[in-house]
């Protein structure tokens, strides 16, 4: 079951703590990187405690390693559950990928082979995690730079099956779809059209770096036009979805991100109009 | 077809620079070669860990200079690959690495400088706890003083330097030339903590203060502290000296609680 639509949010970054507390900007919600707050105390925890009085928070993790053949890291899951009890997020997300193998953490979102074996493995683990956390979780589609020989289905078939079989939700990263489409030569619209809209709880928008023959998901640029276009098509198809902009590097002043977020609002608005008109004809 | 575990192991082996048949698991998708595709992941792995070392150990990086830093990074990544969910824990073995590996182990100040930077991070991230104020001392009944025990705030850290590492850190921080490495005649003792503005501070301690800190950290009470001070001061001075130090500690916000 999808939760409420939070509107338009931003990733909460250290550089903007003071600005957010002082100016209480018109942002509907913030997403935090869970791992950055899994410390005893100090500045980030202190600021988060203040900011969460005024804004809904969602938690986004990078270390669950849900697709790994290593055992689930129960210490990590306990820290995540403890943090969630304190932060009371609207929801918790991580990525459809593996990060740790043989105890070595790559600190990267490594792509899964899209096989029946991997599907079964991920579904089992999500069920365990959801039981442990006592809530449904969101899985995000990661960008990828390679395709496995062993693939038996497309990424969107794989992710649809996971959401259905594990009864989890999806964090739909429009930029990652664009990046992967460019890197693997598929039509991103095919992906957008295939995903079950009833599972899409949240959208990520971000910038990337274009190397011509391939694209890298760097989160250090403004969102580019083709990604905006794809976002508009996504909303047209899916209806309103909580949307946010991820910026992790080369972080600009807050006002610049607000401007980008306003653009997302406007695009979503016009996409919804088009959607309603389409429905009436 | 290769199973999930085989593919994942090949991937991590590739990232770690070990022999790996990862390329054989990857589809050829022109125009980008498989080597380029694998290279994207290899670069991301190394540069992410490198950036972490750079940001956790800024003064060590400056002290080493580019060439030695470039030599340290891949060797450290190889010897101590990350096994933690958070990158904040990745650098914790750097002091040990510098102590055990040439050419770094020829310069003991390097491991010490790295250890100091680690302790600064620990103080910065430690759990929050309120500090008690000076008024509390007035509420303690005379009979209770000997059995009084101090609870330090979790951010309080002790650091012992055998080299001029802290002075070097301070010079580097001010973007000045650090002094040549020098072994100290007697170890220098420092105490680090996070102040009320949540900034990390540190100060040096005299030998008697350091001794008191050790006794208190080990769970000794005020009577034990006074006993140890007899190594430094006359019998009629120890209680007064212990009280003065205690007042200073409370004044800078080191003490979280007092128990009996
Ligand atoms: Fe994302």
Is B194 near chain A, with CB under 8 Å? yes
| Confidence (pLDDT) at A3 | 78
Q: Do A42 and B194 touch (CB under 8 A)?
A: yes
Would the pLDDT of A1 be above 80? no
| Confidence (pLDDT) at A222 | 94
Would the pLDDT of A41 be above 80? no
A37-66 mean pLDDT? 92
Q: How many angstroms separate the CA of residue B56 from the nearest CA in chain A?
A: 14
| Confidence (pLDDT) at B2 | 81
Taking the centre of ligand 1 as the mean of its atom positions, its distance from the CA of residue A142, in whole angstroms, is 7
Q: Do B125 and A150 touch (CB under 8 A)?
A: no
Domain boundaries, chain A: 8-279
Would the pLDDT of A281 be above 60? no
Phi, psi torsion values for B241, nearest 5 degrees: -65, -45
Q: How many angstroms separate the CA of residue B37 from the nearest CA in chain A?
A: 6
Would the pLDDT of A48 be above 80? yes
Q: Which residue does chain B place closest to A115, by CA atoms?
A: B4
| Confidence (pLDDT) at A266 | 97
A90's tokens: 């609207």
Residue ranges of alpha helices (H) inside A167-224 are: 174-184, 188-194
**Which among A114, A224, A131, A109 is positioned nearest to A175, based on CA atoms?**
A224
Cα separation, A47 vs A21, in Å, equals 8
Would the pLDDT of A136 be above 60? yes
A200's tokens: 């899409």
Query: What digits encode the pLDDT tens for the residues A141-180?
Result: 999 999 999 999 999 999 999 999 999 999 999 999 999 9
Angle CA B13–B17–B18, to nearest 5: 55
Instruction: Compute the mean pLDDT over every residue in chain A, rounded to the nearest whole number.
Output: 95
Q: Do B127 and A104 touch (CB under 8 A)?
A: no
DSSP per residue, B86-126: SGGGGGGGHHHHHHHSTTGGG-HHHHHHHHHHHHHHHHHHS
Q: Do B49 and A107 touch (CB under 8 A)?
A: yes
Cα separation, B200 vs B189, in Å, equals 17
Q: What is the CATH number of domain B57-259?
A: 3.90.930.50
| Confidence (pLDDT) at A279 | 64
Q: What is the CATH number of domain A8-279?
A: 3.20.20.150
Domain boundaries, chain B: 57-259
Mean pLDDT of successive 10-residue stretches along chain B, which has 260 residues: 92 97 96 97 96 96 96 96 93 97 97 97 88 92 94 94 97 96 96 89 94 94 94 92 95 94
């Amino acid at each position: 079951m999808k939760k409420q639509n939070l509107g338009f949010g931003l990733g909460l970054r250290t550089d903007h703590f003071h600005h957010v507390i002082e100016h209480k900007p018109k942002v509907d919600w913030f997403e935090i990187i869970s791992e950055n707050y899994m410390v005893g105390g100090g500045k980030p925890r202190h600021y988060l405690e203040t900011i969460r009085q005024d804004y809904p928070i969602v938690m986004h993790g990078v270390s669950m390693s849900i697709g790994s053949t290593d055992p689930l890291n129960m210490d990590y899951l306990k820290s995540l559950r403890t943090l969630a009890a304190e932060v009371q997020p609207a929801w918790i997300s991580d990525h459809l990928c593996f990060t740790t193998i043989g105890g070595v953490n790559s600190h990267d979102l490594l792509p899964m082979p899209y096989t029946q074996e991997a599907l079964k493995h991920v579904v089992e683990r999500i069920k365990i995690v959801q039981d442990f956390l006592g809530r449904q979780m969101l899985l995000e589609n990661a960008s990828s730079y390679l395709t496995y020989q062993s693939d038996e289905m497309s990424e969107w078939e794989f992710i649809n099956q996971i959401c259905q079989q594990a009864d989890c939700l999806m964090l739909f990263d429009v930029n990652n779809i664009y990046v992967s489409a460019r890197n693997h030569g598929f039509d991103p619209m095919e992906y957008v059209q295939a995903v079950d809209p009833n599972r899409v709880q949240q959208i990520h928008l971000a910038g990337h770096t274009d190397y011509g023959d391939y694209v890298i998901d760097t989160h250090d640029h403004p969102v580019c036009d083709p990604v905006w276009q794809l976002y508009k098509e996504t909303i047209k198809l899916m209806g309103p979805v909580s949307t946010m902009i991820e910026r992790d590097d080369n972080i600009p002043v807050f006002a610049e991100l607000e401007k980008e977020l306003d653009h997302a609002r406007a695009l979503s608005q016009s996409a919804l109009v088009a959607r309603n008109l389409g429905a009436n004809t | 077809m290769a199973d999930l575990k085989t593919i994942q192991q090949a991937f991590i082996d590739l990232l770690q620079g070990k022999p790996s048949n990862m390329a054989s698991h990857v589809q050829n998708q022109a125009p980008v070669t498989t080597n380029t595709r694998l290279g994207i992941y290899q670069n991301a792995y190394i540069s992410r860990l490198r950036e972490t070392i750079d940001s956790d150990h800024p003064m060590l990086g400056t002290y080493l200079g580019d060439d030695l830093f470039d030599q340290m990074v891949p060797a450290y990544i190889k010897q101590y690959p990350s096994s933690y969910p958070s990158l904040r824990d990745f650098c914790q073995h750097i002091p040990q690495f510098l102590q055990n590996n040439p050419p770094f182990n020829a310069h003991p100040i390097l491991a010490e400088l790295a250890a100091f930077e680690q302790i600064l991070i620990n103080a910065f991230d430690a759990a929050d706890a309120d500090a008690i104020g000076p008024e509390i001392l007035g509420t303690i009944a005379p009979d209770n003083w000997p059995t009084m025990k101090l609870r330090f705030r979790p951010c309080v850290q002790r650091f012992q330097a055998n080299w001029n590492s802290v002075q070097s850190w301070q010079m580097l921080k001010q973007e000045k030339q650090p002094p040549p490495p020098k072994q100290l005649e007697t170890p220098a003792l420092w105490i680090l903590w996070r102040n009320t503005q949540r900034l990390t501070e540190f100060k040096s301690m005299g030998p008697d203060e350091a001794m008191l800190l050790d006794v208190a950290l080990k769970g000794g009470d005020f009577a034990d502290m006074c006993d140890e001070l007899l190594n430094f001061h006359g019998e009629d001075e120890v209680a007064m000296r212990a009280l003065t130090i205690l007042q200073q500690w409370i004044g800078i916000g080191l003490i979280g609680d007092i128990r009996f």
